[in-house]
Structure formats: structure tokens, C-alpha cells
Amino acid sequence: MICISVAAPTVEEAKRILASGPEADLFEIRLDALREPAVAPFFSLSKPLIFTFRAQEEGGLRPAPLEERLFWLREAATHGASFVDLELACGPEAVAQLRSGLRETRLILSYHNFQKTPSKAYLCDKIKEMVELKADVGKVVCMVRRPEEGLELLSLIVWARRKFDLPLVAFGMGPAGRWTRAVSLFLGAPFTFAASRTGAETAPGQLVAEDLRKVLKILGV
């Protein structure tokens, strides 16, 4: 599945992208991009949605206290979001607070590293934490400098599924990691992220949805 990440300054602009942008299986709403956060208006479009209010330390576009971020994720769940995404680094208490308010909404626990790809042992420990905190989906995304780092990240998808039965989104950021965004789906990642158009990328190395779809078609995914 392809998830288009939408980071727009206003609800109106974000809704335009959802309504008239490229086809996608999921849409991620970046609440940290909105000047005035809101969730209710997005549900009029009947699209499957992931909501995240990304922490600035992991790529968020503006500072916001944890309490505010949790509030908006709970609001999204109340309105029927398919997923909410919270950083693993927020800690067990924050995760428990968020999970206690979820019904049908599934919880993504995520780890982002915009500087490097840590050791595989370190990343496996992060995945174990996600499992212990009852994530429905895990996400591990790191900056990649060398192809072998991309391979290590992709291997986590298979490891997490076999060891914990945890669906894991994992790929590399940066030019050296672009290929992993497509290949991750071959290995069982539940979805991968793409931009709605050139210039709308929300992370280094992110492909445009139209281009990613062409690659996947050629590869037979």
C-alpha cells in the first residue's frame, strides 16, 4: 500500500490534496504542519487516514508539548482515524495514555533517526519496546549513507514479523535509501510513504506517489 504524507499549513489546503491529489491507499495527516490543528474536517472525505503530530526531535515542523500532541491524536481516534502514530521516545506513560482511548483505531509506534542508521541490535531493541507497548504497527526509519544500511533496515521487516508477528514499516531516508521505500513492500511492510507531488516531500529521499506507483508496477507489486 502507498500512503501519501500530507503536510500543509491549512486544513483547506490539506483537504484539497486529499480530494484532488493522486490515488493512494492511505493518507497521513501531519498535524504538526497545520498552523491551527484540526481533525474533524478531514473525515468528510471518507478517506483512510493516519494522523501524527510529529515531535520536532523526529522531524516535526514546529515545537509542541506532548500533552497537546496526545490531545489531537486522541481526537483523531475519537473521529474514527484508521491509525494514529506516536514516537516510541514519548515513553510508556504517554503510550498508555493514548492507547487507553483507542477503540477501532490502530496504534503505530515509530522511531526516526535523521542522522544515521544505528546498529541492528539497537534497532531490534527498539522494535522489542514497540511490541512490549502493544503497538499494532511498528515504524523504523533512519538516514542511510550506504546500501548495506538499507539492507539492514529492510531485514528488520522480516525479523519483526517472524519473531513478534508485528507488521513493520521500515526504510531508509536520503538519496541512498530511496530504493528501500519500494523494496520494503516486497518484504511485507504494510505500507510505504510517498509525496503527493514534487516539492511536497515530508522526508529526505521520499518519492512522488506517481513515480513510486510506476516503479511498483514494473516490479510487479
Task: Show which residues are catalytic.
Answer: 112, 139
Rounded to an integer, what is the distance from CA 200 to the centroid of its chain?
15
Binding residue positions for 3-dehydroquinate? 5, 28-30, 54, 181, 202, 206
HEC string of 47-114 equals CCEEEECCCHHHCCCCCCCHHHHHHHHHHHHHCCCCEEEEEHHHCHHHHHHHHHCCCCCEEEEEEEEC
Binding residue positions? 5, 28-30, 54, 181, 202, 206
Residue owning grid cell 509525496: 195
Distance CA 181, CA 177 (A): 7
Per DSSP, helices labelled H in 79-198 are 92-100, 120-132, 147-164, 178-186
C-alpha cell at 4: 501519501
The enclosing H or E element of 11 equals: helix 11-20
